[in-house]
Amino acid sequence: MAETKRRDRVVLQGNEACAIGALAAGVDFFAGYPITPSSEIAELMSLCQPLAGGRFIQMEDEIASMAAVIGASLAGSRAMTATSGPGFSLMQENLGFAAIAEVPCLIVNVQRAGPSTGLPTQPAQMDVQQTRWGTHGDHSIIALAPSTVLECFTLTVECVSLAEEYRTPTVLLMDEIVGHMRESVALPAPGSYRVASRPTPESGLPGYCPYAECESGVSPLAAYGGEYRFHVTGLTHDRHGFPTMVDEEVDRKIRWIVGKIEDRADELASYEEFMVDDCDALLFAYGSTARVAKSSVRALRDEGVRAGLLRARTIWPFSRTRLQELAPQVRLVVVPEMNLGQLVLEVERAVCGRAPVLPLGRVDGHLFEPEEISEFVLKEVRR
């Protein structure tokens, strides 16, 4: 029995687990351009994608990569790319196209320190707001943040499923630490996890409309080259996909692409809770920082401080419900991030003055030490 368990486990890097998760979710098209610290994802996909019957293309840059992903998805593929901060910036215009055209696809962003080329091999969490607001105009986005190698697999599968299910681009928002660390993991068996498919239209419809409103909130999407011909544009469009400037149609379109995600924020929200039931000092963290914060919680408990951790797996859409429930019982909320304060702004809006919300930022390209967080909390608690 012990021998069987050893064979069932494998040592994987986070980036490797992400690529394996993409293949497990049925991704059959990858277009990308190598960039540290995400290159291992492209490398593994270039080896495995053709063997699985899919297509891998190294594009000339990240702009073209995102365009190719959109085209492949419209043709019926499950499509993805992987990049880091500078490449993610280049993808923003086409990411906006995918949002308004409701094209399902996955972008993996393994964050590194910036701005510009910054510290290419060092960790950061500086793309949180760019993920939400990097492309122009009102839109929404789904973004998940893994903290473990296993979650690099499971949340990649979930991102692909959510992209297909909601007809939207999704982002796996990793950081360099999570992408490059190695852990012994037991990957879920095929069939034990959900792999959703995009809604597709019935055959033989007399007038297929790719953007028709429906009760589910997500319109069926036919594949280009199949039974139906339809128009896709980055302009604001009507139910047929053709550009429109009719006030009511424009208003309805923008509210549609935002509402189908934001109205389901609580449904999409995923958190890990650690010692929050009786806590009066709450840490809110995500990604690799959350792993450190958990150690800090244990150390603070040893010091007599009732600390707890709320770890966000879902970054966007941001659900405020659990924070609103916890806020009245705590004396303070501390948000450690490898930036100078990005998700802390959403935490402040959720807590809404019920408790002080304190940012703790680090931007030198290094991960927090547990003592750094616990000492900060102790200082604030003992004021």
Domain locations in the chain as residue ranges: 9-185, 270-381
- Report the half-sphere exposure of 303 (CA within 13 A, side-chain side): 18
**Per-residue pLDDT, 312:** 98
Q: Which residues, in sequence order, are CB contacts of 116 under 8 Å at separation 6+?
A: 86
How far, CA to CA in Å, does 2 sit from each of 8, 12, 150, 170? Answer: 10, 20, 21, 39
Whether the CB-CB separation of 136 and 106 falls below 8 Å is answered with no
**Per-residue pLDDT, 217:** 85
pTM for the whole thing?
A: 0.95
How far, CA to CA in Å, does 129 sit from each of 47, 118, 266, 343? Answer: 33, 17, 20, 8
**Per-residue pLDDT, 7:** 53
- Placement of tokens 């499950």 in the chain: 78
Task: Judge whether 9-185 and 270-381 match in fold.
Answer: yes
The CA distance from 376 to 128, in Å, is: 23
**Per-residue pLDDT, 91:** 98
Give domain 270-381's CATH number out of 3.50.50.60, 3.20.20.80, 3.40.50.920, 3.20.20.70. Answer: 3.40.50.920
The CATH superfamily assigned to 9-185 is Thiamin diphosphate (ThDP)-binding fold, Pyr/PP domains (3.40.50.970)
pLDDT in tens, the chain (383 residues): 344 344 589 999 999 999 999 999 999 999 999 999 999 999 999 999 999 999 999 999 999 999 999 999 999 999 999 999 999 999 999 999 999 999 999 999 999 999 999 999 999 999 999 999 999 999 999 999 999 999 999 999 999 999 999 999 999 999 999 999 999 999 999 999 999 999 999 999 998 999 998 888 899 999 999 999 999 999 999 999 999 999 999 999 999 999 999 999 999 999 999 999 999 999 999 999 999 999 999 999 999 999 999 999 999 999 999 999 999 999 999 999 999 999 999 999 999 999 999 999 999 999 999 999 999 999 999 98
